């Protein structure tokens, strides 16, 4: 089993996703500032995994501040939440997780400081377990959409490494394989961080699921040649109208899928919905350091003096999305109605 993130009494242990697959190391992060930095620098990444890391970071913070006087205690709790929220802007699961911890602060006012340390730890650990259960349910709903035998293209990593375990898009693929379907995966390499080439390929290979890597510019040709039966990706934030923010490059894949009459599926938990946003136009898109594009492992690959753009996400308009798979069922257009109905159901 892939151990993406784990709560231990020493701190939060996370597999360092910056160095996979060359190295498999599990550093332990012992305070909330370290967890915040780990999210920012993408030791841990993927919307649901960021949410769980954020919750565990807040829980560590509550342990660190337990001896502060009352006023300072409240102020510092707010600072912890704000620090963690400031790490990455696009994945809404981060804000969802911190909101849940803030609500817990209110409902645990009667508890002692030591009890609160335990209450926050238990909530963060519960969120970890819930995420795995959600992914398994999503897998069941989603696998029914995949062919009995075929090739599925995915972009970025929406797998066990992007969640507490099992994965969203890759969870659907795992569930299909477990149901006896013969699925081959094509993983877009996903420049510049190479989540596809490094992470998706690594975790599928660990599970014995057949996977081949495509450079990001190959998908169109492969679709035109009939070598892709469907596309499935995860999401970082989904607006009320079904517009989907996901890793940069997803939009291009979705347009190519439509051009070639190939279904384009999105798998994401209800916590990735942001129904307060009418459309994807309101989704904040993270801009990362141009050096991620111009350099590789500290070696410059672009000419000296030339910079680069580095938007980390794009928004796929909902008209390109065949269906959105959640743990409560599958939503189809018109998404404004179907997503709201799923969000309101239990
Ligand atoms: O920048 P990243 O690696 O955090 O981006 C991750 C993605 O875009 C994933 O596809 C998304 O979070 C869904 S993960 C289940």
CATH value at residue 160: 3.40.50.10470
Instruction: Give me the helix-helix angle, 92-107 and 47-64, nearest 10°.
Output: 30
**Which ranges of the chain have pLDDT less than 50?**
none
* Cα torsion through 200, 205, 206, 209, rounded to 10: 100
Same domain, 51 and 163: no
* Contact (CB, 8 A) for 269 and 326: yes
Helices 70-85, 92-107: inter-axial angle, 10-degree rounding? 160
Boundary-marking domain end, from 74, 103, 136: 136
Would the pTM count as exceeding 0.75?
yes
**What is the total count of domains within the chain?**
2
| Secondary structure string (H, E, C) spanning 24-86 | CCCCEECCHHHHHHHHHCCCCCCHHHHHHHHHHHHHHHHHHCCCCCHHHHHHHHHHHHHHHHC
Q: Of all protein residues, whose CA lies closest to atom 15 belonging to ligand 1?
A: 158
Task: Tell how strand 12-14 and strand 5-7 pair up.
Answer: antiparallel
Spacing, Cα 162 to ligand 1 middle (Å): 6
- Structure letter (DSSP) for residue 328: T
Measure Cα distances from 41 to 37, 242, 289 in Å. Answer: 6, 29, 11
Rounded CA separation 31/60 (Å): 6
Residue ending a domain, among 92, 112, 136, is 136
Indicate if 129 and 189 belong to the same structural domain.
no
Instruction: Say if residue 124 is in the same domain as residue 143.
Output: no
Indicate if 318 and 265 belong to the same structural domain: yes
For residue 277, the CA-to-ligand 1 centroid distance in Å is 19
C-alpha 81/C-alpha 65 separation (Å) is 13
Mutate to test the pocket of ligand 1, among 89, 132, 158, 265 (most ligand atoms within 8 A of CB): 158
C-beta of residue 253 within 8 angstroms of C-beta of residue 187: no
Query: What's the confidence (pLDDT) of residue 334?
Result: 98
Pairing of strands 273-274, 211-214: unpaired
- In degrees, rounded to 5, the angle at the alpha carbon of residue 104 between the alpha carbons of residues 12 and 239 is 85
**pLDDT (0 to 100) of residue 133:** 98
Q: Which residues are catalytically annotated?
A: 236
pLDDT of residue 60: 98
**What CATH number is associated with residue 24?**
1.20.120.420
Strands (DSSP E) found in the chain: 5-7, 12-14, 28-29, 149-154, 182-188, 211-214, 230-233, 237-239, 244-247, 264-267, 273-274, 295-296, 299-300, 313-316, 323-326, 329-331
Picking from 310, 239, 247, 321, the residue whose alpha carbon sits closest to that of residue 280 is 239
**Residue 183 sits in the same domain as residue 229:** yes
Instruction: Based on the fold, state whether residues 172 and 271 are members of the same structural domain.
Output: yes
Ligand 1: which residues within 6 Å by Cβ?
A: 45-48, 91, 156, 158, 162-163, 168, 195, 233-236, 246-247, 312
281, with CB counted inside 10 A (0-12, 13-18, 19+), is: exposed
User: Within this chain, do residues 198 and 132 fall inside the same structural domain, yes or no?
Assistant: no
Tell me the best of 20, 91, 216 to mutate to test the pocket of ligand 1, counting ligand atoms within 8 Å of each CB and taking the most: 91
Q: Are 9 and 125 found together in one domain?
A: yes
| pLDDT of the residue at 147 | 98
Is the separation of the CB atoms in 128 and 7 below 8 Å? yes
What was the pLDDT predicted at 314?
A: 99
Nearest CA to ligand 1 atom 5: 46
Helices 32-40 & 70-85 angle (0-180, nearest 10): 10
Identify the pLDDT of residue 1: 87
- Looking at the fold, whether 143 and 56 belong to one and the same domain comes out as no
Separation of 313 CA from ligand 1 center, angstroms?
9
Last residue of a domain, one of 111, 136, 161: 136
Instruction: Say if residue 171 is in the same domain as residue 318.
Output: yes
Do 24 and 93 sit in the same domain of this protein? yes
Which helix (H) or strand (E) is 128 found in, with range?
Answer: helix 113-143
Strand partners, 295: 300
The closest of 175, 169, 185 to 232, measured between CA atoms, is 169
Query: What is the domain range of residue 46?
Result: 5-136
Predicted confidence at residue 345, as pLDDT, reads 84
Clarify whether residues 201 and 254 are in a common domain.
Answer: yes
């Amino acid at each position: 089993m892939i151990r993406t993130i784990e709560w231990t009494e020493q701190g939060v242990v996370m597999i360092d996703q910056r160095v996979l697959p060359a190295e498999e190391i599990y550093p332990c992060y012992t305070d909330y500032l370290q967890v915040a930095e780990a999210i920012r620098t993408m030791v841990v990444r993927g919307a649901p995994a960021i949410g769980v890391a954020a919750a565990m970071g807040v829980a560590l913070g509550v342990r660190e501040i337990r001896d502060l006087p009352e006023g300072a205690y409240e102020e510092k709790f707010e600072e912890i939440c704000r620090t963690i929220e400031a790490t990455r802007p696009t994945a809404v699961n981060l804000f969802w997780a911190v909101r849940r911890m803030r609500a817990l602060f209110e409902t645990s006012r009667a508890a002692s400081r030591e009890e609160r340390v335990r209450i926050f730890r238990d909530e963060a650990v519960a969120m970890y377990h819930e995420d795995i259960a959600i992914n398994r349910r999503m897998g069941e709903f989603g696998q029914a959409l995949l062919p009995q035998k075929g090739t599925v293209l995915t972009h970025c990593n929406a797998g066990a490494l992007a969640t507490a375990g099992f994965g969203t898009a890759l969870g659907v693929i795992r569930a299909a394989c477990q149901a006896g379907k013969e699925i081959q995966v094509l993983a877009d390499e996903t420049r510049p961080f190479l989540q596809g080439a490094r992470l998706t390929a690594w975790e599928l290979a660990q599970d014995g699921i057949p996977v081949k890597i495509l450079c990001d510019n190959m998908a169109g040709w492969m679709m035109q040649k009939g070598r892709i039966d469907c596309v499935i990706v995860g999401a970082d934030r989904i607006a009320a109208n079904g517009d989907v923010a996901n890793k940069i490059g997803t939009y291009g894949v979705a347009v190519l899928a439509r051009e070639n009459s190939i279904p384009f599926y999105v798998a994401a938990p209800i916590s990735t919905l942001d129904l307060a946003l009418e459309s994807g136009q309101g989704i904040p898109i993270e801009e990362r350091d141009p050096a991620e594009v111009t350099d590789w492992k500290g070696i410059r690959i672009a000419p000296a003096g030339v910079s680069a753009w580095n938007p980390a996400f794009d928004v796929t308009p909902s008209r390109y999305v065949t269906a959105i798979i959640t743990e409560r069922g599958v939503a189809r257009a018109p998404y404004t109605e179907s997503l709201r109905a799923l969000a309101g159901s239990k």
